[in-house]
Amino acid sequence: MVISIGFEGSANKLGVGIIKDGHVLSNCRKTYITPPGEGFLPRETARHHQNNIVKLLEEALIQANIKSSEIDVVCYTKGPGMGGPLVSVALVARTVAQLWNKPLIPVNHCIGHIEMGRLITGSINPTVLYVSGGNTQIIAYSNKRYRIFGETIDIAVGNCLDRFARILKLSNDPSPGYNIEQLAKCGKKFLPLPYVVKGMDVSFSGILTFIEEKGHKYLKSGEYTEADLCFSLQETIFAMLVETTERAIAHCGSNEVLIVGGVGCNKRLQNMMDIMCSERQAVLYATDERFCIDNGVMIAYTGALMYSSGFKCKWEDTFCTQRFRTDDVEVTWRE
Amino acid sequence: MSNTNILYKQGAEGRIFKINYFGKPAISKERFKKKYRNEELDKRLTKERIRAEAKSILRCKNAGICVPAVYLVDFEGRRIILEYIDNSETISDLIDKLTTKNCDESNEKLKEISIKMGDVIGKMHYNNIIHGDLTTSNILIKYESDSTWNLYLIDFGLSYIKSSDEDKAVDLYVLERALTSKHSNVNWFFDEFLISYRQYGENNERIFKKFNEVRARGRKRTTIG
């Protein structure tokens, strides 16, 4: 029996979660929300995390109704992510690990998403579409690694959505992607946008440049409404993701698809993926915002898996790194 | 054409039927409507891809690269009819087969294939054809006799004509990733391929440099959140 606490703060979400043998005891989160038209910057985001983490930690312990002495292992996000926010959160994890005298486990953020997705949905060996503000990867497990079959060759899909929302000055509350999703429901007229798929890789930067250059012109002339643009953007980028995922599952002969990451909450993306899956007799697994969006539990759970498989980390190796590839991690807990 | 069309394979792009086309064994590749995709977008992409496929196959043929012959291009029916490559299998299947054996003989064979592959892809890029979806599933080995074989390139739906090094380098990158992710036990295969590829033309050294840039872009990308 392992009780594990996880600290996550690689981007603008700060999360602390506690899990006991795959059973979530608490999952607390606080999001740093910026005004419309602005993105989150490392320094301000780090300050947000520093100001809130102790309160969030208390909340997580109270909700889980356990004492610090009952915790077996402390886990934190080692990377990838923004330097400042990562370090601010790791500092707290290191401090409590020493105060409580518990082992400290550094966790890869992307692997955290995958393992949490597998736990919640019960999927066994899925092809994973990991889509968030900083990541766009199509991943499948083989030979002790989560291997990246396809990914973005420039910006991440969530980044494309965020920046698109900034151009239109949409609200960042609760998230730019959510507001685009709601607006897109009223969109009718389809604007052809650059559609770039290279094998299993995708590219989004061309779309952004296109909207930057022509978006306001279309809005002014009334040719397309804001909703039309949101609709066209979603239809285009999600079609690219579904197409490459389909190519990956055809390539590996897989019959399970799992969507994880913040963009994975998008109902339209889930719906499109579901249609593709049912055409191929495959099954789609997706989670809701509690686990799709960055959270502490996924770090706690993955750390617990690592800990149970015998993983140990020297104190001097418990650092953070902004760049940390999914396929860098040896998966010791899977056959 | 006979009515006894057999579903040969369901690829990501469409359904592939084995048919009889005026007495010849043929493949009908039908890009059925993708229901998940916006209709307008779907129409545009399907047309673009059928056109690209026909165009690049012809160009390859002219360059002396083995490709299936195009029998019919049918935009209305969203399909393209191609020559059936008899007595063949995908490189992907062959690698899997040979690596499970893992003896000197099979390694020798793999090496021969990797060298030939470098030659074929080198030639394709020399003719400014970008494949767009280079994977081991899209290269066939056809056994002409007991000892001779040829490599056939297929699946040109994402292909286009361009002379830029960048696009060729991305093509190589796609192939490398397909190889390392699916056939992680034969890492040397791609290295052998590259050696042969670099020897093909004088430009290929430049493409190789670009390829290293593309590679670094992928591996070192800051991934946040």
- Tell me which amino acid residue B89 is: E
* pLDDT at res. B220: 46
Nearest by CB to residue B224, choosing from A10, A140, A190, is A10
Tell me which chain A residues have a C-beta less than 8 angstroms from the C-beta of B15: none
Interface check B22 vs A, CB under 8 A:
no
Tell me which chain A residues have a C-beta less than 8 angstroms from the C-beta of B178: 149, 199-200, 251
- CB A248, CB A150: distance < 8 Å: yes
Catalytic site residue from B86, B133, B146, B155: B133
- CB B36, CB B123: distance < 8 Å: no
Write b or e for each residue in B74-85: b if 16 or more Cβ atoms lie within 10 A of its Cβ, otherwise e: eeeebbbbbbbb
Residue-averaged pLDDT of chain B:
90
* pLDDT at res. A311: 94
pLDDT per residue over A254-293, tens digit each? 999 999 999 999 999 999 999 999 988 999 999 999 999 9
Q: What angle do CA A5, A296, A202 make, to 5 degrees?
A: 140
What's the DSSP call for residue A35? P
Minimal C-alpha gap between B39 and chain A (Å): 10
- CB A136, CB A183: distance < 8 Å: no
Which of A15-19, A213-217, A276-280, B28-32 has maximum average pLDDT?
A: A15-19
Q: pLDDT above 90 covers what percent of chain A?
A: 90
Look at B223 and A325 and tell me if their CB atoms are within 8 Å.
yes
Tell me which chain B residues have a C-beta less than 8 angstroms from the C-beta of A246: 12
pLDDT per residue over A172-228, tens digit each? 999 999 999 999 999 999 999 999 998 888 999 999 999 999 999 999 999 999 999
More confident call, A252 vs A67: A67
* pLDDT at res. B2: 47
Q: What is the 3-state secondary structure (H, E, C) of chain B?
A: CCCCCEEEEECCCCEEEEEEECCEEEEEEECCCCCCCCHHHHHHHHHHHHHHHHHHHHHHHHHCCCCCCEEEEECCCCEEEEECCCCEEEHHHHHHHHHHHCCHHHHHHHHHHHHHHHHHHHHHHHCCEECCCCCHHHEEEEECCCCCEEEEECCCCCCEECCCHHHHHHHHHHHHHHHHHHCCCCHHHHHHHHHHHHCCCCCHHHHHHHHHHHHHHHHHCCCCC
Interface predicted TM-score (ipTM): 0.87
Q: How many CB atoms lie within 10 A of CB A7?
A: 31
Biggest alpha carbon–alpha carbon distance for chain B? 57
For an interface test with B, give the residue of A243, A294, A326 to mutate (most B CBs within 10 A): A243
For an interface test with B, give the residue of A200, A230, A299 to mutate (most B CBs within 10 A): A200
CATH of domain B6-83: 3.30.200.20
**Residue with token string 């993701």:** A241
CA atoms within 13 A on the CB side of B4: 2
pLDDT per residue over B112-171, tens digit each? 999 999 999 999 999 999 999 998 989 999 999 888 999 999 999 999 999 999 999 999
Chain B residue closest in CA terms to A9 = B225
Q: Kindly report, as residue ranges, where domains of CATH 1.10.510.10 are found in chain B.
A: 88-220
User: Strand, helix or coil at A267?
Assistant: helix
Q: How many residues would you count in chain A? A: 335
Q: Can you tell me the mean pLDDT for A165-177?
A: 94
* pLDDT at res. A149: 87
CA-CA distance, A14 to B156, in Å (whole number)?
45
CATH top-level class for B88-220? Answer: mainly alpha
- CB A196, CB A236: distance < 8 Å: no
**pLDDT band at residue B221 using 50, 70 and 90 as cut-offs:** low
Of B130, B148, B142, B105, the residue nearest B210 (C-alpha): B130
Minimal C-alpha gap between A250 and chain B (Å): 6
Give the torsion through C-alpha atoms of A121, A126, A132, A135, to 10 deg.
150
Tell me which chain B residues have a C-beta less than 8 angstroms from the C-beta of A237: none
- CB A228, CB A189: distance < 8 Å: yes
Minimal C-alpha gap between A243 and chain B (Å): 8
Minimal C-alpha gap between B160 and chain A (Å): 11
Beta strand pairing call for A136-142 and B160-161: unpaired
* pLDDT at res. B10: 79
Q: Can you tell me the mean pLDDT for B54-80?
A: 96
In chain A, where does DSSP find H-type helix? 42-64, 83-100, 109-121, 157-167, 176-184, 205-221, 226-252, 267-279, 289-292, 296-308
For an interface test with A, give the residue of B34, B36, B162 to mutate (most A CBs within 10 A): B36
Nearest by CB to residue A80, choosing from B36, B170, B223, is B223
Minimal C-alpha gap between B104 and chain A (Å): 23
Q: What angle do CA A14, A326, A200 make, to 5 degrees?
A: 115
* pLDDT at res. B224: 45
Look at A10 and B134 and tell me if their CB atoms are within 8 Å.
no
Q: Encoding tokens for residue B219? A: 């591996």
Chain B residue closest in CA terms to A192 = B41
Q: Kindly report, as residue ranges, where domains of CATH 3.30.200.20 are found in chain B.
A: 6-83
- CB A117, CB A287: distance < 8 Å: yes
**pLDDT band at residue A233 using 50, 70 and 90 as cut-offs:** very high
| Residue B60 in this model has a pLDDT that exceeds 80 | yes
Chain A residue closest in CA terms to B217 = A153
- Domains of chain A (ranges plus CATH)? 3-113+292-328 (3.30.420.40), 123-289 (3.30.420.40)
Tell me which chain A residues have a C-beta less than 8 angstroms from the C-beta of B133: 198-199, 247
The reply to whether B167 belongs to the active site is: no
CB pairs < 8 Å spanning A and B: 130
Q: Can you tell me the mean pLDDT for A42-51?
A: 97
Residue-averaged pLDDT of chain A:
95
First to last CA, chain B: 54
Chain B residue closest in CA terms to A235 = B38
Q: How many CB atoms lie within 10 A of CB A46?
A: 20
Tell me which chain A residues have a C-beta less than 8 angstroms from the C-beta of B185: 143
